[in-house]
């Protein structure tokens, strides 16, 4: 896969060449989804990857052809991953806790941290797409301010400002939910 390819490079005769996109990005998406904190089954990972391509195909007329394909696909994959997690009724595997020699306090802390992580993700996915991209690039993909600015065609000052506002909004919303916020 070549880095930094724009979506327009996959448009042929006014249509998205989905086969080419799938050929170049299937492994990329598989790695993104399979490296998430909460592990999914192989079947779930494959379903998410397939759904990413389906979403791109269905919405090809709304694509911003000047955006990078990898960023666009990663955003959709992250959204679908989080949606899948929200659909699970019980994310806590009791057997895995029984097999570990942890006391109740450790388990409660783990559950609280997982709930806090879910709350953060819920708040992120309520944001505008560009704010989601900025937050995820910075905190989940460890991209620098400079890289994010270049990728999203923004100034570094604007990226810093948006990150500040995003953190402030997250802090406020998490505190409303009863979570403490460090950062």
Domain boundary among 33, 65, 91: 91
Q: Are residues 74 and 149 in the same domain?
A: no
Q: Do 115 and 86 share a structural domain? A: no
Domain with 60 in it: what CATH number? 1.10.1740.10
- Closest of 63, 43, 71 to residue 148, by C-alpha: 71
Q: For 16, phi and psi rounded to 5 degrees?
A: -75, 130
Same structural domain, 49 and 10? yes
Residues 54 and 131 in one domain: no
Q: Cβ(177)–Cβ(119) under 8 Å?
A: yes
Is the residue at 81 inside a domain? Answer: yes
Report the number of distinct structural domains present in the chain. 2
The CATH number covering residue 126 comes to 1.10.10.10
Q: What is the DSSP string of 37-105?
A: SS---HHHHHHHHHHHHHHHHHTGGG--TTSBHHHHHHHHHHHHHHHHHHH-S----HHHHHHS---HH
Q: Distance between CA 183 and CA 181 in Å, rounded?
A: 6
pLDDT tens per residue across span 77-104: 888 888 777 765 444 444 454 555 445 5
pLDDT per residue as tens digits for the range 23-58: 888 888 888 888 876 677 888 888 888 988 888 888
Of 57, 91, 125, the residue at which a domain comes to its end is 91
User: Would you state the structure tokens that stand for residue 173, as one six-digit string?
Assistant: 């919303």
**Domain encompassing residue 156:** 106-183
* Full-model pTM: 0.48
């Amino acid at each position: 896969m070549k880095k930094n390819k724009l979506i327009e490079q996959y448009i042929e005769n006014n249509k998205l060449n989905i086969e080419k996109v799938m050929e170049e990005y299937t492994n990329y998406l598989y790695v993104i989804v399979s490296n998430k904190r909460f592990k999914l089954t192989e079947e779930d990972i494959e379903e998410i990857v397939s759904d990413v391509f389906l979403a791109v195909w269905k919405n090809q007329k709304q694509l911003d052809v000047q955006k990078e394909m990898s960023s666009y696909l990663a955003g959709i994959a992250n959204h679908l991953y989080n949606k899948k997690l929200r659909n699970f009724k019980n994310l806590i595997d009791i057997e895995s806790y029984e097999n570990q020699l942890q006391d109740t306090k450790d388990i409660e802390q783990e559950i609280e941290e997982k709930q806090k992580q879910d709350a953060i993700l819920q708040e992120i996915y309520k944001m505008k797409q560009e704010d989601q991209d900025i937050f995820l690039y910075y905190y989940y993909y460890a991209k620098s301010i400079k890289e994010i600015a270049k990728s999203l065609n923004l100034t570094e000052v604007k990226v810093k400002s948006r990150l500040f506002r995003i953190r402030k909004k997250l802090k406020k919303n998490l505190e409303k939910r009863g979570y403490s916020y460090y950062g």
